[in-house]
Homo-oligomer: A and B are copies of this chain.
Amino acid sequence: MQRLTFIILCLLTFLVGFVHAQELPSWNETTVKQAILDYVAAVTTPGSADFVPQPERLAVFDNDGTFICERPDYPSSLFQAGLVRSFIADGTIDGTKMPFKAWNTFDKDALKKYGWKEAYQEMNAAFGGMPVTAYRDSARAFMDRYRHPRYRVPLARLYYAPMRELAALLNEHGFQLWVVTGSEQDFMRSFLEDATGVPPEHVIGSWTPAVSTQEGKEIRMVRGTVQVYNGHQAKPGNIETRIGRRPIFVVGNSDNDQPMCRYAVTGMRLGLALWVHHDDSEREYKYDRGTSDMADLVKEKDNAWRISIAKDWKRVFQNGVLDVKSE
């Protein structure tokens, strides 16, 4: 009888392990994966004490460094710098003046010295009047054409395999997934649905409000000149303004994401916050500091977790991207 109990327990352990291995297959069997699966079960199982009705299951992913590789440069910034170059080439922008001179050569030191905030604002103002569709077409063409210097594939193939699986798992469990990013909103919308399934209406980036005018019988839609920043404290603020619900599941990778991660784990509903920690120079990049606002949040809250790329992810990329062993 004891032997039978032992055999049944072994079988059950094997079965549970098998089911978990089927879910999130690119994740190692660590406490983080377990915490995610436990959380999703807790908020989606009817009758659970922490059950959350389907309309309130709002998940938010940061983009750069959380959903997609952000090194050596932000895809959005690379695209916009290229657009500056084409505007200099056709004489629309004076390339001898700052900050355009520095955008032209992607001179990050000069841009930092000039002030990142001003450099971005003045660049986006220079795109004012451009038809929104032309801007998006140009962004999409960049994403199709540009190859990552290390992995040698288009950037859209560098969305992390474990995060794509997490997005699918959340979707299967009735979550709506939004991407809330500092990257430029129209750039993101040009490719994100094809790359990840997240539709344009679920993208909140740093945005330049569109300006509609009527010329005769047509509505003309062009980019405005003022940029609304979407980083740090602006992220939870813009989530409230644009979505109007508090997210219960937020994933970020930098202190820029700490406010929205904190927002998710301090509401009435049981929340979960995840922090992608870049500690794997072999397969990806290693650049995070050991102490940060995000590290403090993980220490403070039982429902905030640090994801170690090195330890928690079985593989980093998919779609034929090689896990290159060294840079």
Interface residues of A (CB under 8 A from B): 55, 132, 176, 185-186, 189, 193, 199-201, 203, 207, 209-214, 217-219, 221, 233-238, 240-245, 259, 262-263, 266, 300
Residue of B193, B218, B221, B263 touching A237 (CB-CB under 8 A): B221
Inter-chain contact A219/B55, CB cutoff 8 Å = no
Inter-chain contact A240/B212, CB cutoff 8 Å = yes
Inter-chain contact A243/B201, CB cutoff 8 Å = yes
- CB-CB under 8 A from A219, the residues of chain B are 236, 259, 262-263, 266
State the number of copies, please.
Answer: 2
- Report if A214-B233 is in contact (Cβ < 8 Å); known contacts: A219-B263, A262-B219: yes
Q: 14 more A-B contacts (CB under 8 A) besides A201-B243, A214-B259?
A: A132-B240, A189-B244, A200-B243, A200-B244, A210-B238, A210-B240, A212-B240, A214-B233, A214-B262, A217-B300, A219-B259, A219-B263, A221-B240, A242-B242
Inter-chain contact A241/B193, CB cutoff 8 Å = no
A113 CB, nearest partner CB in chain B, Å:
29
Which 9 A-B pairs give the minimum distances between C-beta atoms?
A200-B244, A210-B240, A212-B237, A212-B236, A219-B263, A201-B243, A209-B241, A212-B233, A189-B244
- Residue among A203, A236, A259, A300 with the most chain B CB within 10 A? A236
- CB-CB under 8 A from A242, the residues of chain B are 201, 242
- Residue among A207, A218, A240, A259 with the most chain B CB within 10 A? A240
- CB-CB under 8 A from A263, the residues of chain B are 212, 219
A220 CB, nearest partner CB in chain B, Å:
10
Alpha-carbon distance between A213 and B263 when the two chains are bound, in angstroms? 10
Inter-chain contact A237/B217, CB cutoff 8 Å = no
- CB-CB under 8 A from A259, the residues of chain B are 212, 214, 219
- CB-CB under 8 A from A213, the residues of chain B are 233
Inter-chain contact A203/B244, CB cutoff 8 Å = yes
Alpha-carbon distance between A213 and B185 when the two chains are bound, in angstroms? 23
- CB-CB under 8 A from A186, the residues of chain B are 244
Output the nearest chain B residue to A201 by Cβ-Cβ distance: B243
Inter-chain contact A234/B212, CB cutoff 8 Å = yes
Alpha-carbon distance between A263 and B213 when the two chains are bound, in angstroms? 10
- CB-CB under 8 A from A185, the residues of chain B are 244
- Residue among A201, A219, A221 with the most chain B CB within 10 A? A219
- CB-CB under 8 A from A234, the residues of chain B are 212
Output the nearest chain B residue to A203 by Cβ-Cβ distance: B244
- Report if A245-B200 is in contact (Cβ < 8 Å); known contacts: A219-B266, A240-B221: yes
Alpha-carbon distance between A237 and B245 when the two chains are bound, in angstroms? 23
Alpha-carbon distance between A3 and B141 when the two chains are bound, in angstroms? 63
- CB-CB under 8 A from A235, the residues of chain B are 212
